[in-house]
Amino acid sequence: MFHGSIVALLTPFKGGKVDEKAFQSFVEWQVAQGTHGLVPCGTTGESPTLSHDEHNRVVELCIEAAGGKVPVMAGSGSNSTDEAIALTRHARQAGAQAALVVTPYYNKPSQEGLYQHFKAIHDAADLPIFIYNIPGRSVVDMSVATMARLAKLPNIVGVKDATADLSRPSRLLQEVGRDFIQLSGEDATALAFNAQGGVGCISVTANIAPALCSAMQNAWAKGDLKEAFRLRDVLSPLHDSMFVETSPAPVKFAASLLGLATDEVRLPLVPASDNARAAVRGAMTKAGLLS
């Protein structure tokens, strides 16, 4: 169900509040542009600064706007296991097709702690779960052995791998087989990740270039490597520009240039600097997104 270009949705704000109308219009645009899947309330969606009510509402709005046309993988992770269980249960009740659960940040659990955290969520919420392994943000790295152990649980179905370690998908593939869905969490290495055993990317850049990102993944799936590599090269400067400063400030500025949302972020994040804006604008122009 989950493959290709899956967008890590930004959460539009207006005057400090979630802009529900802009968000649903954004989701509808993503679907029309060919995005293969939707992830609300991930890191790009500024989930750490959403209240529980806001978090749940954004998931509901996404599912409603998607209208069953593409699957929704709701972000539901937390460094509190009880909180992650509550968010995952809500995602199931709201109609999400899966949950994306990040490794517990700040707590720095052991590998056994990671296993027990995910097992507790698995046992409490009847919903397919993707492990979100992002050491750069969470300061903990789930090992291949721990992931393979979790993959034996029926509802642990895949991973969003944001380690940027291209040896990982191949090594995990040897342990768990192809039924375990491996998705890249790094736009810049999305095709290389596929070559190592992945089947798609949960993408930040897809917020502003969904048609290009989905076309690249479609070309790869069809075996049209020439076109896939061409699109990779078109997208490469965009990927770089999305991370010139802490995400999602750059991608929100990019979205504002396209009239999709404001560039408003919540503290402790701040809007993109002038230098970052220049880099984003230049990359978007080079990719043909701006004239």
Q: Is 69 labeled as catalytic in the residue annotation? A: no
Q: Tens of pLDDT along 106-134?
A: 999 999 999 999 999 999 999 999 999 99
pLDDT at 1: 86
* Choice among 21, 160, 252, 286 that is catalytic: 160
Q: Tens of pLDDT along 165-181?
A: 999 999 999 999 999 99
Q: Tens of pLDDT along 86-110?
A: 999 999 999 999 999 999 999 999 9
pLDDT at 52: 97
pLDDT at 120: 98
Q: Which domains does the chain have, with CATH numbers?
A: 4-224 (3.20.20.70)
**What does the mean pLDDT of the chain come to?**
98
Say if CB 235 and CB 229 are below 8 A apart: no
Q: Is 132 labeled as catalytic in the residue annotation? A: yes
Q: Tens of pLDDT along 14-64?
A: 999 999 999 999 999 999 999 999 999 999 999 999 999 999 999 999 999
Statement: residue 279 has pLDDT above 90: yes
Q: Tens of pLDDT along 141-155?
A: 999 999 999 999 999
Residue 69 CB coordination number (10 Å): 12
Reported confidence tier of residue 250, pLDDT bands at 50, 70, 90: very high
Q: What sign does the CA torsion over 237, 240, 245, 250 have?
A: positive
In whole angstroms, give the CA distance from residue 86 to residue 104. Answer: 15
* Choice among 14, 108, 119, 132 that is catalytic: 132
Q: Tens of pLDDT along 198-234?
A: 999 999 999 999 999 999 999 999 999 999 999 999 9
Say if CB 108 and CB 85 are below 8 A apart: no
Q: List binding-site positions.
A: 44, 202
Q: List binding-site positions for pyruvate.
A: 44, 202
Q: Provide DSSP, the chain.
A: ---EEEEE----EETTEE-HHHHHHHHHHHHHTT--EEE-SSTTTTGGGS-HHHHHHHHHHHHHHHTTSS-BEEE---SSHHHHHHHHHHHHHHT-SEEEEEPPTTT---HHHHHHHHHHHHHHS-S-EEEEE-HHHHS----HHHHHHHTTSTTEEEEEE-S--TTHHHHHHHHH-TTSEEEES-GGGHHHHHHTT--EEEESGGGT-HHHHHHHHHHHHHT-HHHHHHHHHHHHHHHHHTTSSSTTHHHHHHHHHTTSS-----TT--PPPHHHHHHHHHHHHHTTS--
